[in-house]
Amino acid sequence: MSTLTEGRKPTYVYKLVPYTAPPPTPLPVALPVSDLDQTSGFVHLSTASQIPNTLKFFFTADPSVYILRIPYDLIEKDIKWEDPKAEVCGPRAGEGMFPHLYNGFKLGREEVDSMQAWTRSEDGWGDALEQAQHWLLY
């Protein structure tokens, strides 16, 4: 049974990619798999409302990130909504369940509808999030 963060099905889910591992352009059929995804056995994704804390807890040292936007309907059959284990950053109250993609690590040009590069300011990710509000859809 799916439990969604906002209580409804999202329009998009997002994959955050470190600046040190930029996605190739054009996107291939399957992007390289991150160490975290490989170890976990699935592709870690976030909803739009989960992105601020994902940036805060996992991308604090990165000057920039790439955000891949994926239409949820395209991958819904391969998504499991799961509770974060909170071993890395502790409990993340209010964020609910996270979308995890179980499809043999296939995430590429057929699934990703657009991509943006965001740069962290001295104050954190707030400016990038604000500038991307028109693109960051729920």
Tens digits of residue pLDDT in 11-65: 999 999 999 888 998 999 999 999 999 999 999 999 999 999 999 988 988 999 9
The values of phi and psi at residue 106, to 5°, are: -90, 105
The values of phi and psi at residue 40, to 5°, are: -75, -25
Choice among 43-57, 82-96, 109-123 with the minimum mean pLDDT: 82-96
Write down all domains in the chain, each with its CATH number in brackets: 12-131 (3.20.170.20)
- What's the one-letter identity of residue 103? N
Q: State mean pLDDT over 105-134.
A: 95
The answer to pTM > 0.85 is yes
Inform me whether the pLDDT recorded for 3 exceeds 50: no
Question: What is the distance of C-alpha 60 from the center of its chain?
Answer: 15
The whole-angstrom separation of Cα 100 and Cα 124 is 26
